Amino acid sequence: MNEKHKNAARAVALMDLTTLNDTDTTQTIEQLVASIQPLLGTPAAVCVYSEFVDDAKVLLAHKGLNHVKVATVTNFPSGDGVLSDVINETLVAIERGADEIDLVLPYKALAAGDDAKALEYVTASKAVCPEHVKLKVIIESGELKTHALIKQATEIAIAGGADFVKTSTGKVAMNATLDATKVMLETIKASNKVVGFKAAGGVKTVSEAGDYLHLANDVMGADYLNPQTFRFGASSLLSQVYTVLNET
């Protein structure tokens, strides 16, 4: 297996196959799940809006893919929600069967100097997640812009109990970058805690995925590259990966 095939096989196993569009319907979720080709590899999770969590669960079960997690988003995409609403969103999503909650940090408040608010949202969200539900905190690194703010946001997510720290919503001008990823991974490493990382938005080719895999390997070591600690959030990457894996 050459390097390209190896990266493709890794990428599919680490993928949160995602659709988060305002036009999503049950049919959209059906198409998303139908795009999974188990013989070529299955994603770690599918990520959908909360109202489609139960649809995703049923569709995955019908395909014999009960092991694939279902993730959803809260405080999405602006990060401006009232905390009580965000907690309610979280509880409803868990009731619907969500295995993972991707919370948008109040990143605008953090950028304005309100680090206490950012920490409160993470801590409160983590507090209502049962042990089996993972909390992934989206810091929106492209909007924070500076290394110092990206580092601070990552530290806050970790301090609040995040299981993963995620780059982006995929809904802003600049999403995942290798530069921000390096800051985030180094901050996670310095914490001496087992915290995962998720690159989301803009990772569209096997070559791009390979760059993130290499960086994570360099900073965190090969063992980090497993679904418990490393994910890609992607919508179009799966078809690219399958194309590579189908090549002889």
Q: How many CB atoms neighbour CB 44 within 10 A? A: 23
User: Is 166 noted as a catalytic residue in this protein?
Assistant: yes
Token pair for residue 111? Answer: 């950028």
Amino acid, res. 229: T
Q: Which of 16, 102, 136, 163 is catalytic?
A: 102
**Angle, helix 178-191 to helix 206-220, in steps of 10 degrees:** 30
3-state secondary structure of 186: helix
For the question of residue 151 being annotated catalytic, the response is no
- At 100, which amino acid appears? E
DSSP H or E segment with residue 148? helix 147-159
CB distance 86 to 103 below 8 Å: yes
Positive/negative CA dihedral, 180, 83, 124, 89: negative
* Catalytic (active-site) positions: 102, 166, 198
